[in-house]
Amino acid sequence: MKNKITFFFTVIAVFFSSATGFSQNSSYEIGTWEGFRTSAVTFTFDDACSNQFTVAVPIFDKYGYKGSFYPVIDWGPNWNTLKTIANKGHEIGSHSKSHPSGAMNESEMSSSKDEINRQIPGFDCNTVVYPNCVVPNKTTAAKYFIGGRICNNQVANTTPADYFEIGSIICGNQGQCNSLANFQSQLNNAKNKKGWAVFLIHEVDNGSGYSPLASSVIDQTLDHIKKNDGDFWVTTFRNAILYSKERNAAKITEVSNTANEITLNLTDNLDNATYKYPLSIRRTVPAGWTDVTALQGGKEIESSIKSGYIYFNAVPDGGTVTLTPGTPVSGFTVSTSASPETGGSVTVSPNPPANGRYEEGTTVSLTPVPSTNWEFDGWSGDASGNNMPLSIRITKNLTVTAKFKLVGDDVDNNLIKNGTFANTNDWTFSQHNNTTGTFTAVGNEGTISVTQTGTADHNVQIVQNGIPMEQGTKFRLTFDASATSSRPMSVFMQMDSDPYTSYFEQSVDLTAQKQSFSYEFEMEEATDMNGRIAFNVGTATPTVKISNVKLIRIAEIGGPAPEKVTLTFDPNGGTMQGENSISVEQGAVIGTLPTPTRNGYTFEGWIDSNNVKYTENTILTADVTVTASWKEIKDLSELTEEVSNLQEQIKVLTSETENLKLLLEDCE
């Protein structure tokens, strides 16, 4: 592979097509060097001679190129200077601790690496240049470094034969490379073999160090390179090693391919902590794509369309790459949620720009807003801890969840829909095992009649699903129930499908007298956001009536029982179906109210003695009686008579008008 002219990776991509089911090949190429440049060029500087930093670095900065600098620890390099240039992207590597005359031993390697990492926090020293070019034990060197430099005056191959003997060209008045012409000659060698020219520089201009090189030659050489940018990738010693190893180890698998999106995985078998330099990749442009947006792991990566190819730079094992046609969109989204949803919400400040995306580097402040009876219980997702508010600097799309916990009973949020049986909506009646029966809603009571019993309670049942049941959450289930005569019934909170795992179950004995039942339990099974409640009545015939079914989250089991208040209805001349009063938890909303009827009147609502209208959302704090408000419907026969009188008057007026017209004509 290393002698091939270009690295050309053919990748088998499987295209799923429901119409034909065929598969076809597609090809991706990984650039031999970054940006599909022909060769790589590295400038290494040994011994930390002072002119390297005062003279050479400013020239590199002028062209935007980075070099690799190798101080000797015991020679007391200026760490502030090294830290400053490291932060600008230059490399700092090991040139031993004491510059021994022979081969570096393990201590020279480890102590020099450790000291560089200690002096330059966040920097990972991982290349070495051997003092006096003496190759040490390479197995030992490989414990600390990804590659080492020798001095053979040769341009390295596209893939160096040995990463711990990477050749270099000695520069300056003691070396073979001392003029622009010398550099151009070596650069041509690199270009012709698609290889890697590593230059070894010590002193610059008139410093006191070894083998000085004129800064004017450095300037002219970098200028020549800049003018031939497609031929030469100027990079650090470290980055060229990373790139060539990753390029040889990388595999591309196209995962999906549609007109509007291509996804692929770029993987290698190298250590992701070190080998995370982006590789330059291209593929042919799909038909109709004129622009491209590339994301890796959800974050935008560099991409472009040029000469029939999509180009992008991606990191091996850095997440799935997605290519979509269209102008790249800058910025990132912040999505927030509350868990559980009823526990509260999250505000984000500042508000996002009109396109919903914050520019990279924006700091946003997230504030949890608990609902009544809930409190904030920490962040999850792309955030953790419990800062309130939480400041996050945006560098990618963020998904953050605020967790909330109950501190009081959540009396306002009945998790059961239509628990007062205004009709049969939201409930499903089911019969199994040759049973027969009916389910109706009469006077705010779910009424189940069984005519043919089965062998099990659940043979006849009413159920409701879609009930969120989070693990660890505590619930109180309450309902009222009676039967035409004594009989059993069972109630379950359970999984909605086979195996119908039970989260709570209770058998109750019903009597003709309506009873209120109340149970508290904790959800111990895994969270089920589609839990269901079932009332099972399949083993006896007496008709069952169920009302006021309520399931709420509670702060603690066995906590204070909810106070009940009574709402009494005065139909005020009308007729009620069902009870004339209901019992409601103090502080909770009433829920569905009955609708009375009265001949010749329209029901306008329930009002109290202060003329305040009561609705299903009114909160009750004490016993109260409400009175039906009626509007009389006017008798239709009276209206009919009025209409015919008016019609007669119109007739008279019309004929009078005609007469007046005739009189006017006579006058003319």
Judged by beta carbon, residue 129 or residue 411, the one nearer Zn ion is 129
From CA 246, how far away is CA 241, in angstroms rounded? 8
How far is it, in rounded angstroms, from Cα 418 to Cα 439?
15
Residue closer to Zn ion, measured from CB, 92 or 264 = 92
Q: For Zn ion, which is the closer residue by CB, 47 or 203?
A: 47
Residues 30-49 that bind Zn ion (CB under 5 A): 46-47
Under the criterion CB under 5 A, does residue 108 sit at the interface with Zn ion?
Answer: no
Torsion of CA 500, 503, 509, 513, to 10 degrees: -110
* 590-649: contacts with Zn ion (CB under 5 A): none
- Rounded CA-CA distance 540/455 in Å is 10
- Residue 96 Cβ vs Zn ion, minimum distance, rounded to whole Å: 8
Shortest distance in whole angstroms from residue 132 CB to Zn ion: 7
- Cβ neighbour number for residue 371 with a 10 Å cutoff: 18
* Least distance from Zn ion to the Cβ atom of residue 203, Å: 11
For 269, list phi and psi in degrees, rounded to 5.
-105, 20
Burial class (CB in 10 A: 0-12, 13-18, 19+), 667: exposed
Show contacts with Zn ion in window 260-279 (CB under 5 A): none
d(CA 644, CA 518): 63
Count of residues interacting with Zn ion (CB under 5 A): 2
The nearest distance, CB 9 to Zn ion, in angstroms, is 39
Question: Quick one: 46 or 91, whose CB is closer to Zn ion?
Answer: 46
Alpha-carbon distance of 7 to 25, in angstroms, equals 18
Write phi, then psi, for 284 (nearest 5 degrees).
-65, 150
Q: What backbone torsions phi and psi does residue 554 show, to the nearest 5 degrees?
A: -125, 155
Kindly identify the residues of this chain, within the stretch 44-103, that bind Zn ion according to CB under 5 A: 46-47
Q: Which is nearer to Zn ion, 200 or 537 (CB)?
A: 200
Instruction: Identify whether 131 is preceded by a cis peptide bond (ω within 30 of 0).
Output: no
Q: In terms of CB distance, is 96 or 397 closer to Zn ion?
A: 96
Q: Tell me how far, at minimum, the Cβ of 171 lies from Zn ion, in Å.
A: 13
DSSP label at residue 138: H
- By C-beta, is 46 or 445 nearer to Zn ion? 46
CB of 129 to Zn ion, least distance (A): 7
C-alpha 363/C-alpha 393 separation (Å) is 4
- Per-residue binding letters, 442-481, with Zn ion (x by CB under 5 A): ----------------------------------------
At closest approach, how far in Å is the CB of 172 from Zn ion? 12
* In the complex, minimum distance from the CB of residue 102 to Zn ion, in angstroms, rounded to a whole number: 13
CB-nearer residue toward Zn ion: 201 or 281: 201
Burial class (CB in 10 A: 0-12, 13-18, 19+), 86: buried
Q: In the bound complex, what is the minimum distance in angstroms from residue 46's beta carbon to Zn ion?
A: 4
Closer residue to Zn ion in complex, CB, 47/300: 47
Q: Closer to Zn ion at the Cβ: 105 or 586?
A: 105
Residue nearest to Zn ion (CB): 46
* Contact status, residue 475 vs residue 554, Cβ threshold 8 Å: yes
Q: Are 128 and 108 in contact (CB under 8 A)?
A: no
Sole residue written with tokens 């593929």 = 283
Which two tokens mark 561? 């029982």
Q: Nearest distance from residue 55's CB to Zn ion, in Å? A: 19
Residues 338-357 that bind Zn ion (CB under 5 A): none
DSSP string, 292-330: EEEEETTEEE-EEEETTEEEEEE-TTS--EEEEESPPPP
Residues forming the site for Zn ion (CB under 5 A): 46-47
